[in-house]
Each structure stands twice: as structure tokens, then as C-alpha cells.
Amino acid sequence: VGDTGGRVWRVDMQGADTTKWRATVLASIGRHASGSPDIDVDRRFFHRPDIVQSQDEKGLYDAVIIGSGNRPNPLDSGGLTRDFLYMIKDRRTVAGSGFDRNYQHGDFGDVTDNCLQAGTCSIDLVNGWRLGLEDQGEKALSTPLTINGKIFFTTYLPKAGTGATACSPSEGGGRLY
């Protein structure tokens, strides 16, 4: 589960004995990240992640896919916070095996540039990846959905009013990735 401080939590509820239940921090990629009190990292999570069981050369993992965006302030197009879609690899796939992994934003390979498909770069994807949203003020405001290995998610694009329409409300737009 994500929270409004930019943390992603893993919750293990193993059995009926609640003393064995625990919550651990899988990632801290928002304003509560260590050494990052600035507004430019004020990433927030308002929707549940999509969880996909997967495997790579290092073994099994649960892919935790979640997008950031400040839902209470959708028209904020100031661009102070850059939002992302994250795919976090939780390799502790056995119930009760979670611990405070506390990944940071820089621990994920940046796949925003399309160089992987072009074969012109090498990105470390061992912990997962991050995809920067394209436009200033763009934010993910819904739960992603993974079907047949493809992730679908929508974003909101605030539009700034200009001229005679500056005093009228801006509806903004959206994008499907």
C-alpha cells in the first residue's frame, strides 16, 4: 500500500495470530525519503498498487506497480514535483518474510528515456524501475492495471488558462499509457 508521504508499505498478515502481523517499508520515494525534505520530492500515493507475480534472472518477485500524484491538488501545474510510475521488485515472496527494505528513488532504473528499446544504454533494473511522467504537472491518479505483461495506467494533465480564459476553470486533460 502507498501513503501520502510517498512511502510504499508491505503488510504481512500471516495466520490468525495478530502478533505475527507486521508492516514494513518497501520504499520511501516521497517527502519522507531520507535526506529529501524538499517540495521537489513531494510524491504522494492515493491509489492502491497493482501486484504482479513475476520472475527475472535473480529469481521470483512480486512487482509492485504504483503511480504518484497529488490528488487533493490536481490543478497544480507548477512542476515542482515530478511524478513517476514505479515498478518495485519485492523479492520477499513468502508471507511473513518482509523487512524494512526502504528503497529510495535513485534505487530504481530510470526508463523514461527510450534507450532500452533502442539498445543504446544499459540500466540497472535489479530493484525495479521508474518512468517519469512526460508533461509538467502531470500526475497518476488511478490504479495501474497489468494485462499479459503490459501495464496500463492513466494520468491527469492540468492545463493552464491564458488570456481571456484565465479566469475560467480549467478542465485539464488525460493520457493513457
Instruction: Name 68's Cβ contacts closer than 8 Å, sequence gap at least 6.
Output: 6, 29, 30, 43, 44, 45, 83, 84, 85, 86, 139, 140
Q: What percent of the chain has pLDDT over 90?
A: 51
d(CA 25, CA 109): 19
Condensed to tens digits (0 to 9), the pLDDT of residues 6-50 reads: 999 999 888 898 888 889 999 999 876 655 445 567 899 999 999
Condensed to tens digits (0 to 9), the pLDDT of residues 39-60 reads: 567 899 999 999 999 999 999 9
- Assign residue 171 a region: left if phi > 0, alpha if psi is -120 to 50, beta otherwise? alpha
Inter-residue contact 1 to 49 (CB < 8 Å): yes
Condensed to tens digits (0 to 9), the pLDDT of residues 71-110 reads: 887 777 666 788 999 999 999 888 777 778 889 999 999 9
**pTM score:** 0.86
